[in-house]
Amino acid sequence: MPEKFVVTATPSMKSYAARVVEHLSKYPRFAADAGIIDGIDLLEIARFADGEIEAVINASIRGKDVVVFSSSARNEAGRGAAEAKIELYHAIDALKRSQAEKVIVFEPFMGSSRSDRTVRRSSVGLWVHFKTLISLGAGHIVTYQLHSDKSKSMLDPVVSEIDDIPALQLIQRYLCDVYIRDLATLENTVRGQWAFCSVDAGGEKLARGFANAFGAPLVVAHKQRDYSRANTIESINILSAEPLAGKVLWIVDDMVDTGGSVESLVRALAAHRPAEVNIAAVHALFSPPASERLSALVAEKLLNRIVVSDTVYGPRPIEAEKDIPNLEVVPSSELSARIISNIVAKNPMNEVLEPFNAEKYLREPGLFNR
């Protein structure tokens, strides 16, 4: 491992990467003379008159490990998905040509993971993305909550490592810190009055993780899709072992995109007369018309609160806090710093990979169970 390592970012995630560096700088092992190098401005994207681009590294990184943050989702630089990916590809090539020892690509939300089906006559965007990253020289890929577990099998661990961090734990810890706070509430209120609902049958595993973590009931929504049209739901059946009337329901999903699925589900759940319905999701894509849909549900008193993380980082989450009532954004940069710290020090990832247990956490509160 090189004596120092560098953290940089493509234009899509410079502010987020700067926040990660701020957290890392507080670690004693990363003192100024033997630790992290703030390389946020080290990477520059130059443009030619005809629109072609070139990534430029403005300092020596020979022999150093480099963590490069990037996002092809909605982002602070206003880059489109295709442009953001090309910038990342050029960045990796420039880093390897500058003789970086190892390039670690950190994409908090990997947008390509939505294209992971291999059963239709279509390209598989995630496989294309992985193949491109690896062929250019990415030796390690880190992301939060891939769209499906099978996605990780597309990457050969012999040529590149991957860490898919279950970032729903950020939301679970947040619920403990803000809404539960103590063991008595967990035992007397949550376990008797809360329930966790999947957004569809495929999301049952995510919702079951919440149900097991908090010792609360599981509800499964089975939706019938019209696969001839994107983001289209035909019908929803609610499967529950007990009545939902009077319960606090949490819809659990890995992402909210246009809000179509959760809107249909919230309206279907309303017929069961719950005390309230909430949403807990990692990635807040909030593609139009998500803001209008979620705001309407809140205005109609069908939806109480929306809890998401900031893995999709840019101007929209800040605007969304104003646009969407009752939106709560859980920061992820401190967790990203902890992950990088573990990678650099070659420490185990158990603390961020093990299933969350609310009772254990409440006995020893704090983001990382210190």
Is 50 exceeded by the pLDDT of residue 370? no
Of 159 and 247, the structure prediction assigns the larger pLDDT to 247
Name the residue range of residue 103's domain: 5-166
What pLDDT is attached to residue 115? 84
42, part of any domain: yes
Are residues 180 and 318 both part of a single domain? yes
Same domain, 297 and 230: yes
What DSSP string runs through 322-352? HHSTTEEEE--HHHHHHHHHHHHHT---HHH
- 192 and 157 assigned to the same domain: no
Q: Which of 166, 200, 230 represents a domain boundary (last residue)? A: 166
Residue 100 lies in a domain: yes
Mean pLDDT score, 93-104: 96
User: How many domains is the chain partitioned into structurally?
Assistant: 2
> For 50-66, how does the pLDDT look when each residue is reduced to its tens digit (9 = 90+)?
999 999 999 999 999 99
Q: Are residues 286 and 255 in the same domain?
A: yes
Q: With the C-alpha atoms ordered 202, 206, 210, 211, is the resulting torsion angle positive or negative?
A: positive
Average pLDDT, the chain: 89
List, as one string, the DSSP characters of 165-192.
E-THHHHHHHHIIIII-SHHHIIIIIHH
Going by their DSSP bridges, the two strands 248-256 and 306-309 should be labelled as unpaired
Which range is least confidently modeled, 77-81, 186-190, 363-367?
363-367
- Name the pTM for this structure: 0.90
Say whether 364 sits in a helix, a strand or coil: coil
pLDDT at position 306, please? 96
Q: Examine the domain organization and report whether 145 and 201 are in the same domain.
A: no
Same-domain check for residues 175 and 224: yes
CATH of the domain at 205: 3.40.50.2020
Per-residue confidence band for 316, with pLDDT thresholds at 50, 70 and 90: low
